[in-house]
Structure 1
Amino acid sequence: MTSSHGTLLLVGAVEDTVRKAKALGLRVLLLQHPTKMTSAQQDLADVVRIVDYTDWSAVEPLVRQLWHDPGFDAALSLTEPGLEPAGRINDRYDLGGTGYEVAHLLRDKWAMRRHLAAAGVPSVAAAPLTERADLDRFGAEHGAFIVKPVDGTASFGVFLVRGPQDADEVWARVQKLRGKRTDRGSTLFLIQDFIMEQYVDGPELSVECFSFAGRHVVVAVTEKFVAPGFAEVGHVVPARLPHADQEAARRYVRRFLAAVGLRDGVSHTEMRIGPDGPVVIESHNRIAGDAIPELVEGAYGVDLTTYALGWPFGLVPELSGRPRERAAACTRFLVAEPGRIGSVEGVEDAGRLPDVLTVRMSAHPGDVIRELRDNWDRLGLVAVTAPDPESAIRRGAAVLREHIRVRTVSHGGRPGIAQVAVVDPAVEQHSDVVEARA
């Protein structure tokens, strides 16, 4: 396709993002991190510059050159480490997209909490964690609370402090993580600062939204299944929440996005429904991970990636309101006890099934399996569609059990098979889901 609809500067991207931008007829200038570059991206993009795009001092001169030749009409990132650099580019060249201040508010959870308090938006008590005594002071005032990185993702480094008995262990783990990388497969983030937040006990969900010049359209409410260590082990769209809770979540996210100043583009906002109603956990001006965009498209027919790429150029129609549900969709994850991956089989066969949206495996032969603490410890996922959420939950587990086999060896030398993480025992037959296949 000849690019004729404008030029887009992408700050970081996966292959699918570049391909969809090209399908829209856009010329693509790609700034890609050296650890993320692929031959497919190189072939698809019109111009590629390899740079650590988290380093503005390295990015700024490259962007200045691209602005003069060949020029670009919009700057965008749909990947977490590219959001703030894209915001700086939008500000520098007055492109009209989301600027640095908004991107930073969403990345920096302490800045976000202070901003919400000033704006009168319901939130939770929060404070920075700088010394061991902070844990005791915060717990004495607020009871159970969460400790997490100020700008982390994927549930990495998230700890629940139930009481004083947990404080020493959590402090030791925080100290161990400072200065470490968040993603075991890349090198884009360093963990430095931590925040304490009052714990909210209630259903967890995310709201997938698209904003059109300040009009925030809730596309989907996603029900989330979270393991005891906060790793996410499943998602289902639409969420099986009472109507009143879903409406409260929709109202809250519109108020939240207006308060932080997001006016255009896609957003992914995680929240919990507590005793006093919805409260934000974190939010991002990008698409969700874990194949949630595939769930949204499967359930509602809305491709959020294409919308994000096309909206700055007027290439997608503005949604008048909430899209009509046409199916349900679910992601299910494989997990295993600590050890090592022996073999992975059946991925291609599973991907060809008519009700399977995608199959993604992070497990490869020889990889080390870690205790399930965050999203990086999962082994893979399948996303499926079905007529209703309960059927989608069961079908996702069935695809993993019947078509994908990940053989493992535990640290004790025992052979085994990776298992489907249990999400809802009330829906799925527990023994069928977790029993290892012979």
Structure 2
Amino acid sequence: MSKQRVLIVGGRIENVRKAKEQGHEVVFLQRPELFLADHAEVVDAALLVDYRDWDALAPLITAVHQVYGFTAAVTTSEAGVEPAARINDLLGLGGVSHEVVLLLRDKLLMRRHLAAVAPEITVAAEELDGRESLDRFAAAHGYPFIVKPVDGIASLGLQLVRSGAELDGVWETARELRGVEHQFASAFPIERFIMEEYVDGPEFSVEAFTFAGRHVIVAITEKLTSDNFVELGHVVPARVDPDSADAIERCVHTFLDAIGLQEGPSHTEVRLSDRGPRVIESHNRPGGDRIRDLVEAAYGFDIERYTVAWAGGTLPEPASRPPLRQAAATRFLSAEPGTVTAVEGAETAAEHPDVLTVALDIAVGDTVRPLRSSWDRIGQVVAVGPDADTALALCEKTAAAITVHTETWADATE
């Protein structure tokens, strides 16, 4: 097979390296401020532009395609899924269409679509369009219910509404969050909100890869969450009974068919209610939080590699889920909000042979924020073991051995 050339939209440098390892040439589309010397050493060509600005990108990408003739546009990042889809549509390259991506990115659009074609896997939902809409939704569907941004990520802005006494506060919080400047506001602005029925029950994500409309469920990931829904850890494979696992997999097959996903990765979040599994949200990219590493450690399937290189034809198409090799888990690190004064135990914690990663995202002098979204977490531990309980226990033991000292803001004023 002749060498293939792929366009990779954003993402980490490992994306490029894995495509190169499969023998592909890489045209890299990246924002100028994120293009590093390391990128320059491995890419075959680079287009440096804010790829979120489609009006600016469309004529440039058309010209670049005429010169370099890449055969697919792919991405592993949430910010890249819409540009990649629009590029594939514009140039007739196939892959995931922009129409499908919009169904995944816009949670209200997704709910309305599922209500029409697969009501058994979704819940009631309406747009929050004024204070009175909260009263109407509560009257129609009861408590509790969820209010969250239509196209938000990382649990930012998600609120659980338990009673009518909370409605005024929920409305004020939603108003305050509209247009708020957060660290990723340029890529994920908060503008519209959705109200939807709350699904009680354990939460999972399903990691899959689709080959010409055939969905291969690679893993079911168990989620550990805080009271405000921020993810605190993940376990692969999920500790779930076979009947429940089958129901979750059927739910995701139904969902991916209903959405019309025909190619590539997906990361679908599901809650297992007493009425059966219900889809919470989904993304046509590998799961974040190093879930890709958990899946590879557990099943030997590199979903990131498949994402960037499958279209080039150098990877085998699995008939089904690969056999389980071992379990893998991750736990996120935490500390009291404040200014970091010392970090202890990280180097020693990483010495255990079954600890794959100890990653700290803070250093002395940095600020630990209250845990309101996934972006407020300060690091994570990844470990493996013969079973899920053992892998998770090692994560928790390793995380407990790492101490992040902070000077809280209250301490600083005393």
User: What's the TM-score bracket when you normalise by the shorter of the two chains?
Assistant: over 0.9
Is residue 269–residue 284 contact of structure 1 (8 Å, CA) maintained in 2? yes
Please say if residues 181 and 189 of structure 1, whose CA atoms lie closer than 8 Å, have aligned partners that are also in contact: no
Counterparts in 2 of 1:36-435, with a 5 A limit? 36-122=34-120, 123-143=122-142, 144-182=144-182, 184=183, 187-345=186-344, 347=346, 350-351=349-350, 353-402=352-401, 404-413=402-411
Higher-RCO chain (CA-CA 8 Å, sequence separation at least 6) = 2
Deviation of residue 360 (structure 1)? 2.5
Determine the C-alpha separation between the residues in 2 that align with 1:17 and 1:380.
Answer: 21
Matched-pair identity in % = 49
Q: Is the 8 A contact 1:4 1:27 kept in 2?
A: no
Question: What secondary structure sits across from 1:216 in the alignment?
Answer: strand
Summarize deviations over 1:155-203 as a string: whole Å, max 9, x none.
Answer: 1110001111111111111111111245x26732211111011000000
1:14 maps to what in 2? 12
Q: Is 2:75–2:307's contact at 8 Å kept on the other side of the alignment?
A: no
Code of the aligned partner of 2:311: P
Question: Are the aligned partners of 1:298 and 1:357 in contact in 2 as well (CA < 8 Å)?
Answer: no
What amino acid maps onto 1:293 in structure 2?
Answer: R
- Note the alpha carbon deviations across 1:358-403, whole angstroms, 9 max, x for none: 333222322222221211111110111011111111100122233x
Any conservation in 1 of the 2:118–2:255 contact (CA below 8 Å)? Answer: no
Q: Secondary structure, in 3 states, of the residue corresponding to 1:48? A: strand
C-alpha distance in 2 between matches for 1:322 and 1:199: 31
Q: CA deviation at 1:151?
A: 0.6
Secondary structure of the 1:103 match is helix
Q: Which moved more, 1:66-75 or 1:341-350?
A: 341-350
Q: Which runs of 5+ in 2 are unaligned?
A: none
Find the aligned partners of 1:382 and 1:272 in 2 and give their Cα distance.
25
Structure 2 residue identity aligned to 1:281? I
Q: TM-score, normalised by structure 2?
A: 0.95
Question: Using the alignment, how far apart are the partners of 2:180 and 2:185 within structure 1?
Answer: 12
State the one-letter code of the partner of 1:390. D
Structure 1 gap segments, 5+ residues each: 415-438
| Change in CA separation of 1:298 and 1:336 when aligned onto 2, cut-off 3 Å | same
Give CA-to-partner distance per residue, 1:18-61, whole Å, 9 cap, x none. Answer: 11111111111111123433322232222122221111011112
Query: What CA distance in whole angstroms lies between the structure 2 residues aligned with 1:138 and 1:87?
Result: 34
| Cα distance in structure 2, aligned partners of 1:7 and 1:352 | 40
Structure 1 contact 7–26 (Cα < 8 Å) conserved: yes
Equivalent residue of 2:81, what SS? Answer: helix
- Are the aligned partners of 2:216 and 2:320 in contact in 1 as well (CA < 8 Å)? yes
Summarize the Cα distance change of 1:280–1:329 in structure 2 as closer, same or farther, 3 Å threshold: same
Once residues 384 and 181 of structure 1 are traced to their aligned partners in structure 2, the CA distance between those partners, rounded to angstroms, is: 35
Per-residue deviation at 1:204? 0.3
Structure 1 residues 95 and 181, CA, compared in 2 at 3 Å: closer, same or farther? farther
**What SS is found at the alignment partner of 1:248?**
helix
Deviation at 1:349, TM superposition (A): 5.4
Opposite residue 203 of structure 2, the aligned amino acid is E
Asked if 2 retains the 8 angstrom alpha-carbon contact of 1:8 and 1:74, the reply is yes
Question: Comparing 39-48 with 15-24, which one deviates more in the overlay?
Answer: 39-48
Contact 2:75 2:308 in 1 (8 A): no
1:235-290: CA deviations, max 9, x gaps? Answer: 10111112111100001101100110101111000010112111111000000011
Task: Please give the TM-score of this superposition, normalised by the length of structure 1.
Answer: 0.90
